[in-house]
């Protein structure tokens, strides 16, 4: 018997008695008697994620049974964390809210830099200025993340992370999940353009990138 079909009918905080034990080799059991697990096969099957807790059943008193509690569930998406701007990077995020891509520029070194810093990372010039860029670049590398430590991104696993080199300054690298690009189908060398997504917690917009050719 599988417990997977049962989860979609449960509400968070509710549980169900299962007539079997969870195999110890799956490492669900700990000294505390439970371990949280995300069920990847179910996520791939029906587009949802679930956090569950297993423990030895006290409901039936029978040997060889388990009690499953559904702690939380949700849809499979890619929620973005909402950054809190500080005095150094506030101009960058203000421009994002206007759907403009700006980065710092050092007139001494004639180069752009990112992420934002109080001064030029090469010469120490503290009079760096902000310049708007075209918002175009190319994919230079990529990975697929299957086990992120960031809890807000767990429902979207697996997902792409691509490194984008900007056209105006190839040394400036930005990262992207490449919305719309299937997992593990990232075209290295492809041209991309910036888009801006609104994060749910504060409404702050952040840059993302999409493949254009």
DSSP state at residue 29: -
Pull the structure tokens for residue 80.
């973005």
Scan for tokens 């010469």, then name that residue. Answer: 123
Q: Compute how many other C-beta atoms are within 10 angstroms of the C-beta atom of residue 48.
A: 15
d(CA 61, CA 204): 52
Mean pLDDT of 45-59: 51
- Could you tell me which residues are beta bridge partners of residue 113? 104
d(CA 91, CA 131): 10
Looking from the CA of 100 toward its CB, the CA atoms found within 13 Å total: 11
Contact 195, 136 (CB under 8 A): no
Long-range contacts at 3-11 (CB < 8 A, ≥ 24 apart): 3/68, 4/39, 4/41, 4/42, 4/45, 6/68, 7/39, 7/42, 7/50, 7/52, 7/70, 7/73, 8/46, 8/48, 10/70, 10/73, 11/70
Pull the structure tokens for residue 180.
């719309």
DSSP state at residue 153: G
User: From the centroid of its chain, how far is CA 101?
Assistant: 21
Percent above pLDDT 90 for the chain: 48
In tens, the pLDDT along 80-109 reads: 778 899 999 999 999 999 999 999 999 999
**Considering only CA atoms, which of 15, 13, 14, 16 is closest in space to residue 1?**
16
In tens, the pLDDT along 107-145 reads: 999 999 999 999 999 999 999 999 999 999 999 999 999
pLDDT bucket at 26, cuts 50 / 70 / 90: very low
d(CA 66, CA 71): 16
Backbone φ/ψ region at 43: left (φ over 0), alpha (ψ -120 to 50), beta? alpha
Scan for tokens 């999940």, then name that residue. Answer: 177
Contact 159, 141 (CB under 8 A): no
3-class state of residue 75 by DSSP: strand
Q: What is the pTM of this model?
A: 0.63
In tens, the pLDDT along 163-202 reads: 999 999 999 999 999 998 998 889 999 999 999 999 888 8
d(CA 17, CA 69): 9
């Amino acid at each position: 018997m599988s417990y997977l079909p049962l989860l979609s009918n449960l509400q968070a905080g509710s549980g169900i008695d299962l007539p079997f034990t969870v195999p110890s080799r799956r490492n669900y059991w700990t000294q505390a008697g439970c371990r949280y697990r995300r069920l990847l096969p179910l996520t791939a099957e029906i587009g949802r994620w679930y956090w569950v807790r297993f423990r030895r059943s006290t409901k039936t008193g029978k040997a060889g049974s388990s009690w499953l509690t559904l702690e939380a569930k949700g849809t499979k998406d890619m929620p973005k964390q909402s950054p809190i701007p500080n005095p150094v990077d506030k101009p960058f995020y203000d421009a994002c809210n206007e759907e403009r891509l700006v980065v710092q520029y050092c007139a001494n070194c004639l180069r752009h830099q990112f992420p934002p810093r109080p001064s030029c990372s090469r010469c120490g010039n503290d009079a760096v200025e902000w310049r708007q860029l075209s918002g175009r670049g190319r994919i230079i590398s990529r990975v697929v993340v299957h086990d992120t430590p960031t809890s807000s991104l767990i429902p979207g696993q697996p997902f792409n992370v691509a490194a984008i080199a900007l056209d105006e300054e190839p040394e400036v690298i930005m990262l992207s999940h490449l919305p719309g690009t299937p997992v593990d189908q990232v075209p290295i060398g492809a041209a991309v353009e910036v888009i801006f997504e609104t994060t749910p917690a504060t409404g702050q917009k952040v840059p993302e990138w999409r493949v254009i050719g």
